[in-house]
Amino acid sequence: MSHEEEIVEVNAEAASDELEAVVEIAAASEEAAEEAEASEDAEESAEEAEEAEEASEEAAEEEEAQADESEEAAEEADAEEEVEDAADEAAEDEA
């Protein structure tokens, strides 16, 4: 093998090694990008879950307020009925 052939062979091996390194770097970069995307997706999901929890809490508070209003209305209706009953009894007693 001539000296020039040896140089070509060494250069070819070096180029092959460099190509292999580039492929490994590209694979590592792709994996890192996928992990970053998965992390971003997880963060986004966590934010969505937090928003859903807040909406659920707001809905529960609204339901509680409506229940309180219904209870107050029922108490007022009971009080009005008691007043009417007392008025009816008083009218019967006078009669």
Q: pLDDT digit string (tens) for 52-82? A: 999 999 999 999 999 999 999 999 988 888 9
Locate 77 and state its tokens: 């209706």
Dist CA 25 CA 21 (whole Å):
6
The CA-based dihedral angle spanning residues 69, 74, 78, 79, taken in that order and rounded to the nearest 10 degrees: 10
The residue ranges of every structural domain in the chain are 1-95
- Tell whether pTM > 0.85: no
Dist CA 75 CA 81 (whole Å):
10
Q: How far is CA 67 from the centre of its chain?
A: 28
